[in-house]
Amino acid sequence: MTIAHPGPGLRAGGAARGHPRKPPDPARAWARSLDRRRPGLVAFVLAELAALYGTPRRDTRLDPVSELVLTILSQNTADVNSERAFQAVRDAYPADGPIAVHRVVAPDGTEAPPEGWGGRGLDAGSAPDWAAVEHAPLDELIEVIRPGGLAPQKAPRIQGALRHVRETTGGYDLGFLAGMEPRAARDWLTEVPGIGKKTASIVLLFCFGLPLMPVDTHVERVSRRIGLVPPKAGPDEQHEIYRHLLAPGDVHAAHVLLIQHGRRTCHARRPACDRCPIAPRCRFLDSKAP
Ligand code: SF4
């Protein structure tokens, strides 16, 4: 795996005569300093985690609007609950679109959700009738998605997002985002009410392969412990740092591997450091780890 080298920074000695000095980009500065202080750390982490969990495949998951709505449903709830709520939306507002298959069949014939997916995986099915969801009476939609938790907050958020998509694009198709520059696509999506960088990055990475790292609770915790990001870096800052830390082709693997590590080994309460291959270079165990 390769590490992205940030482009040339400001010229030593300041800005060229007559041009205002560009403010330094702290995310880029962090990535450069990490490369200098702890060379090869990103490549080491990705290689060790890939050896432990296997190299992730990028399976097709859902159409972009379904991914957007499912991600809203998954905010602050267990993935199995958001799956249940999404299934309920499909049942309540069915449509005749193409059937999407969400589970992947392993060589031994067993079925599993796509890699990096948090729940049990969805049954095969088509996207709901988004116009019906957008225009449903709010109380009705709240009841439909109640299994997902926080329904009174999420139902208006879903309808607001669908309204925004329809009003700005004339329909419920986000396919045009695939052709946009990744950050411009993310900016477009974060204009949707209730959509932050994490949700936008999930949609863009998993639906279109755009190299944007979604920073969820596992990625955030594991990254901080290892020292891939500054000790106090929150999700917003981490989203920016990862743009400079990773080569575009490594973003999907890094996201899935760090999530798997957070779920299976680097637990929030009691991380299993005694069986972790990152231990020799982890700042959680040694504040001077290389
Ligand atoms: S050594 Fe411990 S804290 Fe560090 S990444 Fe591994 S499990 Fe997490």
Q: Could you tell me if 84 and 47 lie in one domain?
A: no
CATH number at residue 165: 1.10.340.30
Q: Residue 27: CB within 6 Å of ligand 1?
A: no
Q: Whose CA is nearest to atom 4 of ligand 1?
A: 282
Q: Residue 278: CB within 6 Å of ligand 1?
A: yes
The contacts of residue 62 (CB under 8 Å, 6+ apart) are 70, 100, 102, 122, 127, 206, 207
Residue 86: closest CA among 39, 35, 116, 120: 120
Rounded to the nearest angstrom, the distance between the alpha carbon of 221 and the centre of ligand 1 is 10
Total number of domains constituting the chain:
2
- Listing DSSP states for 105-161 in one string gives E-TTS-EEPPTT--SS-PPSBPPP-HHHHHHS-HHHHHHHTGGGS-HHHHHHHHHHH
Rounded to the nearest angstrom, the distance between the alpha carbon of 200 and the centre of ligand 1 is 28
The model's pLDDT over 104-117, given as tens digits with 9 standing for 90+, comes to 666 677 766 666 66
Question: Is there a contact between 215 and 237 (Cβ–Cβ < 8 Å)?
Answer: no
Percent of the chain at pLDDT > 70 equals 87
The per-residue pLDDT for 105 is 67
Among 208, 233, 260, residue at a domain's last position: 208
pLDDT above 90 for 250? yes
CATH number at residue 226: 1.10.1670.10
Rounded to the nearest angstrom, the distance between the alpha carbon of 240 and the centre of ligand 1 is 23
Residue 243: closest CA among 196, 283, 192, 186: 186
Q: Who wins on pLDDT, 100 or 86?
A: 86
The model's pLDDT over 28-39, given as tens digits with 9 standing for 90+, comes to 999 999 999 999
